[in-house]
Amino acid sequence: MPEQKRDYYEVLGVSRDADENEIKKAYRKLAKQYHPDLHPNDKEAEARFKEINEAYAVLSDPQKRKQYDMYGHSGVDGTGFNGFSGFGGFDFGFEDIFDTFDAFFGGSPFGRSSRRKSAPKRGNDIKYTLEISFTEAAFGTTKEIDVKRMQVCNVCGGSGAKPGTKPETCRHCNGTGQIRHVQVTPFGQMVNMRTCEYCRGEGTVITDPCHECRGSGRVQKTSRISIKIPAGIDNGQTISLRGEGEPGYMGGPPGDLYVSIKIKPHPIFTREGYDVICEIPITFTQAALGAEIEIPTLEGTMKFNIPEGTQTGTVFRLKNKGIKHLRSNGKGDQLIKVNVEVPTRLSAKQKELLRQFAEISGDEVFQQRKTFFEKMREYFNKN
């Protein structure tokens, strides 16, 4: 009768609601304590180390942990719904089946080759949100940002080993990162290559870890990066900086840095594409008689003539006074929308003058009003 496996949470000495960091911390402590290289020829320590690695491999993987929590060992060891079994004691999971084809038939039926975990891997990307002003977005600028990212440890040079020492070749896989398992099946001899559980596919083990990075070969540092903001960039657009992410693994390329732009609202201007919109209040007198007023633009103030008889809501267009196109030399326009402000506080004399103006004006000077009431009378007379 096969030996009953212990509960994985019990193996690592953590609660069932432990988070990822707690599980990792417990694993590192126990793995260091029971590492076979520290206990040569100690079968009990070797078995304990194997048990610890097996538990960590499941609990550190969110999907496997979920299956384990639901179905126990049968959910992750190939005897349940997620694996295969029954060929003379030979069992394997979905991932192992490809390695088995490689070893037995000389290649995977889908063209996949067996890969070591220690193969070069691209570094992680980093996302950063940068807030800039409306005018900085319009004209472009250069900004310096502080980015936290994992970097190669300067103390050990990324080896993870204490200065003066170096990682040792794993004696269990002889530095290959894989262990060869041979099994006899009804079909003949089956060779299966599995990731070495002692070095976790790295091919080396660290017996004396670096005090700075604690054996990981990486430390988190803040880097100051200069970034050029192109003129015309809009809110929500992203600038990518190739190679400014976290460094790669095992000689792999670094990741990228993605900077998302957030533009602060402007007190006067709004933006629509590459056009700039500005609403300007004018007086009743300026609208009726016309006037020269001073208006703001992105490049400063300028004189502008309001023609007489200007109605509220009228929009004037200033060519090439908008925002530069992001990928060409063209520019948008500035739209000036005028709003006629009706006075709210009038003196008795001002009110009297307006009444006199209304009496002598009639409808002749209010063409829109005159036209509207003519249409209204025509409509009701017909009905």
> Does 382 score more than 90 pLDDT?
no
In order of start, what are the domains of the chain with their CATH numbers? Answer: 118-164+215-265 (2.60.260.20), 269-382 (2.60.260.20)
* Average pLDDT of the residues in 68-79: 70
SS3 category, 211:
coil
SS3 category, 29:
helix
* Average pLDDT of the residues in 177-188: 72
The amino acid at residue 350 is Q
The more confidently predicted of residues 247 and 109 is 247
* Average pLDDT of the residues in 72-93: 49
Question: What is the per-residue pLDDT for 101?
Answer: 42
> Does 109 score more than 50 pLDDT?
no
Q: Are 234 and 137 in contact (CB under 8 A)?
A: yes
Q: What is the full DSSP assignment across 329-380?
A: S-B--EEEEEEEEPPS---HHHHHHHHHHHHHHTTTT-HHHHHHHHHHHHHH
Q: Are 178 and 116 in contact (CB under 8 A)?
A: yes
- 56: number of Cβ within 10 Å: 22
> Does 189 score more than 50 pLDDT?
yes
* Neighbouring residues of 322: CB distance < 8 A, sequence distance ≥ 6: 274, 275, 276, 298, 331, 332, 333, 334
pLDDT band at 235 (very low <50, low <70, confident <90, very high): very high
Question: What is the per-residue pLDDT for 116?
Answer: 47
> Does 274 score more than 60 pLDDT?
yes
pLDDT in tens, 147-162: 998 888 889 888 889 9
- 296: number of Cβ within 10 Å: 15
* Average pLDDT of the residues in 80-89: 38
Question: What is the overall mean pLDDT for the chain?
Answer: 82
Question: What is the per-residue pLDDT for 262?
Answer: 96
> Does 3 score more than 80 pLDDT?
no
